[in-house]
Chains A and B, each alone.
Chain A
Amino acid sequence: MNESRNVLEAPGATAGRAVGLVFRRQATAALRDPGPHFVLPALPALLMTVVFTALFDRIGDAPGYDAGGLDRSHAGGYDAFLIPGVVMLVALLGAGATSASLAADLRSGYFERLRLLGARPGTHLTGRLLFEAVRLLPGTAVVLGVGLVFGGDNRNGIVGLALVTMLVAMLGMAYSGVFYTVAIRTTDPQTPFQLQPLGLPLAFLSTALVPLGVMPGWAETIARWNPVSPVVDASRQALTGDPWAGELPGAVALLAGIIVATHALASLTLRRRLAGS
């Protein structure tokens, strides 16, 4: 009898518990179907890590390459340069898987049912976002591990690795907001696949793979403005430079801002969609 009174008086679950429930639901589904959630996102990044570290360190031999700021005196050369950048591909080519279930819930009647339960609709975005961060961790670990085996530099030890992992997770969260917005508008469960190619220009037209000086003019201009670049720079500093230098707080602040912005956009899109009926 106590419980029946509580249900009428309590305005649905508290925000914290609701977010936790959404997170758990995503986690359960992901663990049941680990391929698309954990393995697939890491695969392109992993392959590119292997391929680029194996093949493209020769690019250091190209005339004019030094101008790009590549520290060739350091052991590992291009590989050391590459790893902190290519790991960002885990986020750029792997984020957004949770948008599929969001689209599916909206397309079926499931979201309508959840709407009636009292938790704010935004909860379903926040819970998913937090899971995105967690979801990318295994892939990040594998890419970093493989990359270091192939010759990356890890002079800052565990601190560097932890900071880079944090940056990947935050980048994943920031980027996922874009997926959510599209998923809400199209209710297409294929959204993660449809948007995946977008990650390529985001990755290539940044400082992730090659130094700025090596790119053609137009590419360099884009890379300077690409928000991924400062994140990559901070990642590079974390692994091979001074982790606490200015780039890190700047990158974290930038990512936090983007997370808030894309999340807000997604929430707004969701609210507009729900109000439309």
Chain B
Amino acid sequence: MTAARTFLRDTGLIFTRTAREAKGNAGLAFVAPTLLSVFLIVLFQAAYGQIAEVSGWPTDRFIDWVAPGAVLLSVFVGAGYTAGGLLRDADSGYLDRIRLLPAHPATVLAGKIGFEAARAIIPATAVLLVAITLGADNRNGLPGGIAVISLAVALAIAWNGIFYYSALATRNHAAVLGLQPLFMPVVMFSTFWVPPDFMPGWYATVAIWNPFTPTLDATRSIMLGATDWAALGTGLGLLAMLALLTYGLAGRHYAAATAAD
């Protein structure tokens, strides 16, 4: 086998193992993120849906505005799960065993990240389908839906980089877990809830500068039918930067950790 095929095959093996682990913990890995996002859509539409009646509101219904955010939210909930698994493997000595195999050391990271990306698809798709069923706009149809899910996957990969970096730099479970609530302010202080016109001055400033906002706006624009290419470009660029930074640093720590002592 060529080196590339070997690499792919080994990555696939890591992927499968991580998937098996996640199945055993399906609640945290799949159910909780989906449930939370679906709850939010339903409950927010129920409680605050009327805000769409206020003059100046850009969409027909509140759910049209909130649904894209809810899809992306499912990526945030339960993030860091596989990074925690990497730490568990490091603690238990399993990682050492893999090191001794002829597989390239990067396959472990690649396999886990690949799984993280795949894992994001399930809750994101579920939430998207529920939102559409409840009446959210999806004016770009199937291609639009695929684009939205792809953005969710890109977000998943980039966001989880933070956890991998933390795991490999600190080797501390508590430090990794402690990062999970980070998504809350990131999501809250963005255009998740209302358009910038509806925000008080300071809030709008925070939201506009929030690096999550471009990705969110791009996703929303796709669902509403008028793709905002500027936001899309900015969003993807920011995600790429985050991924390069975090995985770059993480990779260096990983190489140092797995090199022969």
Contact = CB atoms under 8 A, between A and B. Distances in A.
A binds B: yes
Interface string A54-83: 111011011111000000000000000000
A44 interface: yes
Interface residues of B, number: 31
A54 B199 CA distance: 7
A209 B47 contact: yes
B53 A63 contact: yes
Contacts of B36: 197, 200
Interface stretch (A23-31, A162-170, A212-220): A212-220
B199 A200 contact: no
B184 A47 contact: yes
A51 B54 contact: no
A201 B45 CA distance: 12
Prevailing SS type, chain B contact patch: helix
Given A35-B178, A197-B36, A58 B51 contact: yes
A136 interface: no
A255 interface: no
Prevailing SS type, chain A contact patch: helix
B49 A216 contact: yes
A101 interface: no
B181 A61 contact: no
A141 interface: no
B185 interface: yes
A193 interface: yes
B185 A47 contact: yes
A58 B184 CA distance: 22
Interface in A169-206: 190, 193-194, 197, 200-201, 204-205
Given A59-B51, A64-B53, A197-B36, A204 B199 contact: no
B146 interface: no
B179 to A, nearest CB: 11
- 10 closest pairs, A vs B, by CB? A204-B43, A219-B46, A62-B50, A62-B53, A210-B47, A200-B39, A59-B51, A61-B54, A47-B188, A197-B36
Interface of B: 27-28, 32, 35-36, 39-40, 43-51, 53-55, 178, 181, 184-185, 188-189, 193-194, 198-200, 203
Interface of A: 35, 40, 43-44, 47-48, 50-51, 54-56, 58-59, 61-65, 190, 193-194, 197, 200-201, 204-205, 209-210, 214-216, 218-219
